[in-house]
Structure 1
Amino acid sequence: MQITNSILMIRPVNFRMNEQTAVNNYFMEDLSIKNAEINARAQHEFDQFVEVLLSHGVDVTVVDDRVETDTPDSIFPNNWISFHDNGTVVVYPMFAENRRKERREDLLDILEEKGFRIDQVVDYTAAEEDSLFLEGTGSILMDRINQKAYCALSERAHEELLIEFCEDFECTPVIFTAYQTVEGERLPIYHTNVMMCMGEDFAVICLDSIDDKSEKRNVLNHLKQDGKTIVEISETQMHQFAGNMLQVIGSDAQRLLVMSSSAYNSLTPAQIATLEKYNDKIVHSALDTIETCGGGSARCMMAEVFLPRQSKPA
């Protein structure tokens, strides 16, 4: 199963530009307004986004962030946790020290109370002691149908950890490096999911960000072998978060492609027409403050819950 109806989202209480992640997230920009105003705007965008998802029949579990931990990036939970259809929860090692405080066991209790089954927790966080990181489904773009894990290597995604993950979950690694131009210099993109989106039958990808021709050819070969229609986006569109989309299931098993309004508005009519062939509806919401200060967008905010449901007592 590639997509799910169930999403976990964390409502921010201390959202701001995170100085610890800004060192290698080149999508972030500083807004010259007070942090309290930034957080208020982010909360408004978050609440509107959740309403849009709920109105389309997506099962959204919203959990408030904790004030005492001071975690400015908590709105992006998919980087530290993932939920799998065999009942496994995975917890990941994080690059920024203040992001490690986002990890919280009570989320598992909340999901179990909602009827999800958790059989085991796989914890890779000890790798932080060796300065090795792999930031969840930000780093790992899963093709669950074909058991492949696409990963753009960066300071937040180390190859040895990806290989360990792939061995543990019996999937094939598809490894490359993706770059963006920052003040005339080509630097690694911090997360795979800002330059690539994997749907059931399609993939959105910024091929121009993969500078190595053999790596680019390898990625394309895997996608074509698996019958994916490729929707190529430009680097300019990527910077509008057009790669940061997520396909989910809505009401009546509809296929929804979820993104920010800036991402949607950057797409060409031809790209939209192609995506509409594989989705019943394209859904978008304005996330300008979150994108500017957080350097992440719609997909980063949604942690997919693939966990099985608990069997009801007879």
Structure 2
Amino acid sequence: MLQPKNHSQFHSDVAQNANCVVMVPPKEFKFNAETAQDNEFQNQSSLSDDQITQSVMSEFNEMVAKLRQEGVQVVVFDYELGNVATPDAVFPNNWFSTTEDGTFYTFPMACTNRQFEVRPDELIQQLSLAGRMVTQQDSLVAYQEQNAYLESTGVMVIDHINRTIYAALSQRCDREVLEDYAQRIGYERVVSFQTSLPSGHPIYHTNVMMAIGENFCVICDEVIPEYERRFVVKSLAKDKQVISISLDQMNRFCGNILQLETVNGDKVIAMSQSAYDAFSPTQRNQLSSHGKLLPFNVETIENIGGGSVRCMLGEVFLPARTHTL
């Protein structure tokens, strides 16, 4: 395992937005009973397995095509099937992350069947073919032996410009692993907090309740206890336009959005059609000032998988050899 990097290795002009993403086809997609134990966004379906597969593959392919049409580089990681099914492979942002210096990180996943999604060698090969260079690897997967987990940008919503990581603590977000990762990437500030849903349980992933763009953030702050809420919102409001969403809007995945850049540097904001429809006209106007809104119909993936558009996008900050789409 590599030693944590020294802060001096990093540059101040860190990009907030990626112009390249990894997407994984949902060819084994179905209701995951293991993750449903703490993911209240998942729902059983009356559709047959074949109907589900046909629907989610259509949603996936349309999203890939539209992102590419807008000028976002999409690396489709079509992995080989293994002995253990990976029904949530369509949400790759939970097991890896990348940094601008060319480092590829892998993370400890809380659910056993999701641990089989972690295929760094195969993905790095695909990234290389797409012109994205990995110069070194680092892994926090060993924490799984301690039953300590950190599901990457599912549980960490990162303000790269201010080197700050926001994270809702839960079974899938261990404070010790969180602090370790922050040290490794040279980000001195971690804002961790508790959350509580009406059920009394915490949010399973931070990225369903908040998103951070270059100059804005979306947050369902009502799920944060009042004694922590003010601090979190004040921290965000220092240099971001804060767009507060309700619990109902969060349940329709308004927090699960992602600002990206095209290869030409234009800003776009990816979200589901459900989220787009749930934002008020005022909120849509606010968001539109930060980039073109790109709504995608991923209704089946959302309802059964309990994750939305942002969860489907693994950001790639690796240096580019070419601009291959």
Give the alignment's TM-score, normalised by structure 1.
0.95
Structure 2 residue 118 is the aligned partner of structure 1 residue 103: yes
Cα offset, 1:251, TM superposition: 5.6
For residue 164 of structure 1, report the CA deviation from its aligned partner.
0.9
| 1:228 matched to 2:240 | yes
**Are the aligned partners of 1:13 and 1:39 in contact in 2 as well (CA < 8 Å)?**
yes
Tell me the distance in 1 between the aligned counterparts of 2:269 and 2:196. 25
1:46 paired residue among 54, 57, 60: 60
Deviation at 1:310, TM superposition (A): 4.1
Measure the CA separation in 2 of the matches of 1:251 and 1:307: 14
Q: Is the 8 A contact 1:13 1:64 kept in 2?
A: no
Q: Tell whether the 8 Å contact from 1:12 to 1:64 is kept in structure 2 after alignment.
A: no
Out of 193, 196, 203, which is 2:210 matched to? 196
Match of 1:86, SS state, is: coil
The code of the aligned residue for 2:268 comes to: L
- Confirm whether residue 124 of structure 1 aligns to residue 140 of structure 2: yes
Structure 1 residue 29 corresponds to structure 2 residue 43: yes
For residues 115 and 27 of structure 2, the distance between their equivalents in structure 1, rounded to whole angstroms, comes to 16
Q: 1:12, CA displacement in angstroms?
A: 1.6
Whichever residue aligns with residue 288 of structure 2, its letter is: E
Q: Which runs of 5+ in 1 are unaligned?
A: none
- Which residue, out of 277, 283, 294, partners 1:265? 277
**2:93 paired with 1:81:** no
- Contact preservation (8 Å) 1:197, 1:246: yes
SS at match of 1:67: coil
Cα offset, 1:177, TM superposition: 1.6
- Of 267, 270, 287, 1:275 maps to 287
Paired with 2:149 and 2:49, the residues of 1 have a C-alpha distance of 28
Matching residue of 1:249: 261
Determine the C-alpha separation between the residues in 2 that align with 1:237 and 1:140: 20
> Secondary structure of the equivalent of 1:252?
coil
Is the 1:13–1:67 Cα contact (8 Å) retained in structure 2?
no
Partner of 2:11: none
Residue by residue, what CA displacement relative to the aligned partner does 1:69-118 show, whole Å, maximum 9, x if unpaired?
41000000000001110111110000110001001121101111222221
Q: Which residue, 283, 302, 305 being the options, matches 1:294? A: 305
Cα distance in 2 for residues equivalent to 1:232 and 1:51:
31
Alignment size in residue pairs:
305
Cross-structure match for 2:80: 66
Structure 1 partner of 2:130: 114
- Runs of 4+ aligned residues of structure 1 deviating over 3 Å after TM superposition are none
Q: Report the 3-state secondary structure (helix = DSSP H, G, I; strand = E; otherwise coil) of the residue aligned with 1:16.
A: coil
- Aligned residue identity for 2:107: Y
**Alpha-carbon distance between aligned partners in 2 of 1:135 and 1:251, rounded to the nearest angstrom:** 28
**Aligned equivalent of 2:193:** 176
User: Which structure shows the higher strand fraction?
Assistant: 1
Aligned residue identity for 2:318: L
| AA of the residue aligned to 1:78 | N
Report the alpha carbon displacement of residue 306 of structure 1 after superposing the two structures with TM.
0.3
Compare 16-25 and 163-172 and name the one that shifted more: 163-172
1:107 corresponds to which letter in structure 2?
L
CA contact (8 A) 2:73 2:263 kept: no
1:99-154 deviation per Cα after TM superposition (whole angstroms, max 9, x unaligned): 01001121101111222221211100111111100001001111000000000011
Q: Hey, what does 2:150 align to over in structure 1?
A: 134
Q: Percent identity?
A: 37
Secondary structure at 1:247's aligned position in 2? Answer: strand
Alignment of 1:135-150 (within 5 A): 135-150=151-166
Q: Distance in 2 between matches of 1:170 and 1:33?
A: 46
The residue identity in structure 2 corresponding to 1:298 is V
For 2:169 and 2:302, locate their aligned partners in 1 and report how far apart those are by CA, in whole Å. 22
C-alpha separation in 1, matches of 2:185 and 2:149: 17
| 2-structure distance, mates of 1:286, 1:22 | 22
